[in-house]
Structure 1
Amino acid sequence: MMEFRTASMEYIERMCEITEDAKRQLRSMGLDQWQKGYPSREVWLKDIQDGCTYLAVDDGEVQGIFAFQTTPDPSYEEIDGAWLTDGAYASMHRVCVADGCKGKGVAGQMFAKGFELAREMGFPAVRIDTHPENFPMQRALAKAGFQPCGQIHLVGGCEDGDLRIAFEKVL
């Protein structure tokens, strides 16, 4: 049975391993997503400090990670397209599933947890973005009920200016 835990220092090595697996997979798909140093150990350490990252744990094994943000994302201020909602939203970032756990519905359960957190906090919608050619993630997003809304460019960090497809799920 999948359970969710707030990330803590005890899990940092496993979080970095899963992130490296994800970076390798994206590289093997020929994508530049997550190839410029993000997400890094420092990003996860700040997330742990902020208490905004969740681990998907099954049978004692961390199978996935996601960050859950409740503050507006600067990357989402300008969109070539249109969001489904106006106003407050939660967003999910740095969603990754461990090698050997892919195709087992882990991402779907993480999205469901994000939706549950957003509902509990009174948000009407959840936003997320991914690389235009990250088709496995786009399939997972569609399956979870996210709708494509248009294109955005990332703001800040080592991926500043990179193109992404933005998605939103109305709760």
Structure 2
Amino acid sequence: MNSTEITLRKAEIEDRNIIWKILQQAIERRRKDGSTQWQNGYPNPNTVESDIAKGFGYVLTVDGEVAVYAALILNDEPAYSSIEGAWLSNGEFVVVHRVAVDEKFAGQGLVKKLFDHIEDFARSHDIQSVKVDTNFDNLAMLKILESKGYSYCGEVYLSGGVRKAFEKIVI
């Protein structure tokens, strides 16, 4: 009888404090892992409010409780126009940024579920692919992308750093 409801929905302004708490946990986790990613004051509370205001902020909820945050941006990531390498496609795409999981939901495979939901979202809007980048040392995310069938396409430059770029065709 004990089934869990997992839902992807647009973030509301009321979610901003929990989202920022989740991002702070992720920033600290990256720091403890010795990563340079997210260690320079970005993302910050303004990033969260801007994401929500622009309609980019999404939350994955577990039985109504916010568990994962991600920014989903349609067709718009200037850094992706100059890739050292090649994208799989040049049609419409969803960009995934700022993925972070609440610690109390860590290790439950929710980021994989997030990507399932994002791929469904893309398909339901007739969007050809999902593009994502991550730091070379973000081993957890690299593993997830590999397990979800994302192809390594090359390197992009974002916020002063080199990122590994991936794409998956979903239609």
Match among 86, 90, 100 for residue 90 of structure 2:
86
Equivalence for 1:170? 169
Q: How many residues align?
A: 166
1:4 aligns with 2:8: yes
Q: Distance in 2 between matches of 1:148 and 1:100?
A: 30
Q: Which blocks of at least 5 consecutive residues in structure 2 are unaligned?
A: none
Q: Deviations over 1:50-69 (max 9, x none)?
A: 22211111123211011111
TM-score, with structure 2 as normaliser:
0.92
Q: CA offset at residue 81 of structure 1?
A: 1.3
- Is the Cα–Cα contact under 8 Å of residues 56 and 73 in structure 2 kept in the other structure? yes
Match among 39, 53, 69 for residue 57 of structure 2:
53
Match among 66, 71, 96 for residue 70 of structure 2:
66
TM-score, with structure 1 as normaliser:
0.92
Work out the percentage of aligned pairs sharing the same amino acid. Answer: 33
Q: Distance in 2 between matches of 1:22 and 1:110?
A: 16
User: What's the Cα RMSD here?
Assistant: 1.1
Task: State the 4+ residue runs in structure 1 displaced beyond 2 angstroms.
Answer: none
- Is the Cα–Cα contact under 8 Å of residues 152 and 166 in structure 1 kept in the other structure? yes
Q: CA offset at residue 19 of structure 1?
A: 0.2
- Is the Cα–Cα contact under 8 Å of residues 151 and 167 in structure 2 kept in the other structure? yes
Q: Deviations over 1:63-106 (max 9, x none)?
A: 10111111321111111111111232111111111112122111
